[in-house]
Amino acid sequence: MSLSPAIRFVLVGTQHPGNMGSAARAMRTMGFTRMVLVAPEKAPNHETDAMAAGAESLVREAPVFASLAEAVADCGLVLGCTARSRRVALEELAPPLAAERALSAAAKGREVALVFGRERTGLTNEELQLCHAAIHIPSDPDFSSLNLAAAVQVIAYAVRMGQLMHGTGVVGTSIQDAENETDPPASHQDLEGFFGQLDATLHAIDFHKGRAPESAMRKLRRIFLRNALSIKEVRLLRGVLADAQRMAMLAGKQV
Ligand code: SAH
């Protein structure tokens, strides 16, 4: 199940109607549909539709609030995007880490808000105070401010990548927990059983050919340990080894 419905993109005090449309398009391309508006300076208009390029329903259906506090009242995690790095007394996250936080909160059933400020002045300090952390896209410090919709695109992409990299996750548990429920990680004991069988198989197929087996085993262990195998994956690998062992035995009988 997708976590995207738990994540809303909040545009605060947007000044250009076209930007609402561009932001909607940016969201929609990354699989997000929940836009929330806070006191837009101008109502959405034909420029909005032109820039939305088919995603205008996100703006049309967006709830409009008078203040950010109202727009995020039901949220368990609020992250405020700011072009001004390190000038806020908030923890500052780069987009990948922010995406991870957002997805893990959404997986726990919390509502998540990603908040974007005004084109000219960004978010006020009071608005940032409502956020649990700030997100800063690490832009060139001498030219740090992205266009509003470009910032929405970068953040939406980061969250989408987070989702794709972790699988979609299931609402109600963290992404990691959700994965673990269906495919828990292999224990130390599972892995040692696998390595024992791998060692035996390498002997059976005469992989070492007189060389000391330790060096190859050390490298092979490193490969498998690096990949944090699950129980199911270890089972699959052991199935492959079992067949290799069987074939080696058959071949041994033939000679
Ligand atoms: N001059 C404004 C820039 C506003 S740009 C300022 O100093 O804040 C409009 C919005 O896009 C910002 O409020 C922020 O939410 C987002 N944004 C632009 N550049 C960003 C960046 N480098 N990192 C994170 N968010 C950014």
What CATH number is associated with residue 228?
A: 1.10.8.590
Do 126 and 160 share a domain, yes or no? yes
Give the pLDDT confidence of 80-136 residue by residue, as tens digits.
999 987 666 788 999 999 999 999 999 988 899 999 999 999 999 999 988 999 999
Do 80 and 115 share a domain, yes or no? yes
Give the confidence band of 179 by pLDDT, cuts at 50, 70, 90: very low
Residue 80 CA: nearest ligand 1 atom is: 15
According to the model, what pLDDT value does residue 255 have?
A: 54
Do 100 and 137 share a domain, yes or no? yes
Do 149 and 238 share a domain, yes or no? no
Residue 215 tokens, joined: 């060096």
Do 14 and 128 share a domain, yes or no? yes
Residue 16 tokens, joined: 């250009």
Q: Which of 148, 153, 155, 157 to mutate to test the pocket of ligand 1 (most atoms within 8 A of CB)?
A: 148
Q: Whose CA is nearest to atom 5 of ligand 1?
A: 119
Please return the burial class of 95, using the count of CB atoms within 10 Å of its CB with bins 0-12, 13-18 and 19+: buried
Which whole number is the average pLDDT over 238-242? 95
Mean of the per-residue pLDDT values of the chain: 89
pLDDT over threshold 80, residue 186:
no
Q: What percent of the chain shows pLDDT beyond 70?
A: 88
| Window from 113-127, 159-173, 225-239 with minimum mean pLDDT | 159-173
| Window from 78-87, 161-170, 211-220, 245-254 with minimum mean pLDDT | 161-170
Distance from Cα 28 to the centre of ligand 1, integer Å: 20
Do 118 and 26 share a domain, yes or no? yes
Helix%, strand%, coil% for the chain, nearest 5? 50, 10, 35
Residue indicated by tokens 């995207």: 4
Note the pTM of the prediction, 2 decimals: 0.70
Give the confidence band of 230 by pLDDT, cuts at 50, 70, 90: confident
According to the model, what pLDDT value does residue 219 have?
A: 84
Do 175 and 229 share a domain, yes or no? no
Do 234 and 143 share a domain, yes or no? no
Distance from Cα 14 to the centre of ligand 1, integer Å: 12
Do 74 and 155 share a domain, yes or no? yes
According to the model, what pLDDT value does residue 180 have?
A: 52
Q: Which among 2, 6, 48 is positioned nearest to 25, based on CA atoms?
A: 48
Residue 169 tokens, joined: 């996750």
According to the model, what pLDDT value does residue 178 have?
A: 45
Higher pLDDT, 110 or 146: 146
Question: Residue 234 and residue 24: Cα distance in Å, rounded?
Answer: 44
Question: Residue 126 and residue 23: Cα distance in Å, rounded?
Answer: 24
Residue 2 tokens, joined: 């997708």
Q: Domain boundary residue among 148, 179, 210?
A: 179
Give the confidence band of 173 by pLDDT, cuts at 50, 70, 90: very low
User: What range defines the domain where residue 171 resides?
Assistant: 4-179
Q: Domain boundary residue among 160, 179, 198?
A: 179
Q: Domain boundary residue among 128, 162, 179?
A: 179
Do 169 and 220 share a domain, yes or no? no
pLDDT over threshold 70, residue 1:
no
Number of domains making up the chain: 2
Residue 120 CA: nearest ligand 1 atom is: 1
Q: Which of 41, 85, 146 to mutate to test the pocket of ligand 1 (most atoms within 8 A of CB)?
A: 146
According to the model, what pLDDT value does residue 170 have?
A: 37
According to the model, what pLDDT value does residue 87 have?
A: 66
Q: Which of 9, 19, 79, 81 to mutate to test the pocket of ligand 1 (most atoms within 8 A of CB)?
A: 81
What CATH number is associated with residue 145?
A: 3.40.1280.10
Do 70 and 121 share a domain, yes or no? yes
Do 29 and 135 share a domain, yes or no? yes
Give the pLDDT confidence of 18-64 residue by residue, as tens digits.
999 999 999 999 999 999 999 999 999 999 999 999 999 999 999 99
Q: Which among 197, 199, 190 is positioned nearest to 225, based on CA atoms?
A: 190
Give the confidence band of 174 by pLDDT, cuts at 50, 70, 90: very low
The three-class DSSP label of residue 9 is: strand
